[in-house]
Amino acid sequence: MAFSFFGGVHPKENKIARDMPIQEFPEPDILVIPMSQHIGAPCKPLVKKGDLVTMGQKIGDNQGLCVPVHASVSGKVKAVEMRAHTSGTTVMSVVIENDHLDTLCEDCRPRTQADVDALTPEELMNIIREGGIVGMGGATFPTHVKLSSGLGKVDTIIVNAGECEPFITSDDRLCRELPHDLISGLKIIMKILGLNTAHIAIEDNKPEAAKALQEELTEADGITVDVLPAKYPQGAEKQMIYAVTGREVPSGGLPAAVGCAVFNAATCKAIHDCVYDGMPLIRRVVTVSGDIVMEPKNLMVPIGTSFNDLMEAVGHSENPYKVLSGGPMMGAALYDLSAPTIKGVNAVTILGKKNKYAVDEPQCLRCGKCIDACPMKLAPVLMYKALQSNDPEVMKSVHMLDCIECGCCAYTCPASVPLVLAFRSGKQILRNAMAAKK
């Protein structure tokens, strides 16, 4: 049974790349591999300028909440230095000059089904950790930590194939073209968590993907494909949990608090590649699309490929007004197109000047449309007022940290108030104030 979560919006889908099969993107001559591609401690480089590296070789790692990063091609380390990042900052990165030989690291060895069957949950989690697997829907939380923290607490596994953002079709194509790999990765998750059943949640605007998944399954698999009515932000973790189970994650709580664990479709595919093929997370499917894009595509892209390279692959009919890492609702505008794609980048969205909605001095009309749209049942109008007070206690009182930055409020705002940008700033102020008290 599908439940409809509170609020949400129905933006124009613009899935113009949905019928474009996944294409291999030609490897660039230069790739930049950031040491920060996940939530947690950045990696420390394990290589230096002049070193030769092989495809899949570990080139960065650290202790604590961290997963390693790997070379996505073979070649020579040209530099280890600060480079532009999708976060808008610069981070330590390993720059690799591609030799185009694709010499595979000797540690990347495939496993048979018998090999995998013999692995314990702890061994599987270690393989996933060493493979650098993170949440590939954008959150980039280390997957082995999510699995470890869910042991004994989770009774429901959900694969998030919702992909509710406009323009993005990477997971849609993944489900259509590689359903076996996705389901194989899901079965590994089920083994780790000791569960015999799971759900794959997908919106009803992706019938071909839902059919491909259902055809790959048998009753013995214990996996259900839940086809949900399309509504944004269905793909948000807490909304997905409610839509599938009817359970509400409490304020400040994690999915495990209601017995759930959610994994992105691309993450499941990456787990399969890591466990069976021995390949760490060094490439991913990226949708390159937008209203001025001439040839929208779904590309299998080596991690470290620049946004400039991807934009050249599709062409655009006018100078972009904005280029986003991600989709138009939750994506981050890029200030430097030389920044590389990282593990959490599922799309590049290129928008023209007709998308310029900025207002010089926006004024809240107090119409309340943002309240009706907020899927977290917050009051954005009060949150915006609290931000103007610059008082962390006032911000905390309106539950600003519960904001998931989905953009529903900004989408419905007739005054074009930049609400998401404001709340991102407010959340950082609040986090800084909380950290200062410790």
pLDDT (tens digit per residue) in 256-286: 999 999 999 999 999 999 999 999 999 999 9
Pairing of strands 198-203, 283-289: unpaired
Mean pLDDT calculated for residue range 308-333: 94
pLDDT higher than 80, residue 371: yes
Q: Is 342 exposed, middle or buried (0-12, 13-18, 19+ CB in 10 A)?
A: buried
Q: List pLDDT tens digits, range 148-199.
A: 999 999 999 999 999 999 999 999 999 999 999 999 999 999 999 999 999 9
Q: Read off the pTM.
A: 0.95
Q: What is the pLDDT of residue 118?
A: 97
Q: What structural domains and CATH numbers belong to the chain?
A: 113-277 (3.40.50.11540), 369-437 (no CATH)
* pLDDT bracket for residue 362 (50, 70, 90): confident
What confidence tens digit (pLDDT) does each residue in 57-67 have? 999 999 999 99
Q: What pLDDT does residue 359 have?
A: 77
- Read off the pLDDT band of 438 (50, 70, 90): confident
Percent of the chain with pLDDT over 70: 100
Mean pLDDT for the chain overall: 95
Dump pLDDT digits (tens) for 66-103: 999 999 999 999 999 999 999 889 999 999 999 999 99
CB neighbours of residue 142 within 10 Å? 20
Task: Compute the average pLDDT of residues 289-318.
Answer: 96
- Reported in sequence order, the residue ranges of 341-380 that DSSP labels E, i.e. its strands, are 347-351
Read off the pLDDT band of 213 (50, 70, 90). very high
C-alpha 363/C-alpha 352 separation (Å) is: 25
Q: Which residues contact 138 (CB under 8 A, 6 or more apart)?
A: 326, 330, 344, 346
Strands, DSSP E only, in 30-74?
Answer: 30-34, 44-45, 52-53, 58-61, 69-70
How much is the pLDDT for 2? 67
Question: 216-235, pLDDT tens digit by residue?
Answer: 999 889 999 999 999 999 99
What pLDDT, on the 0 to 100 scale, is given for residue 231?
Answer: 95
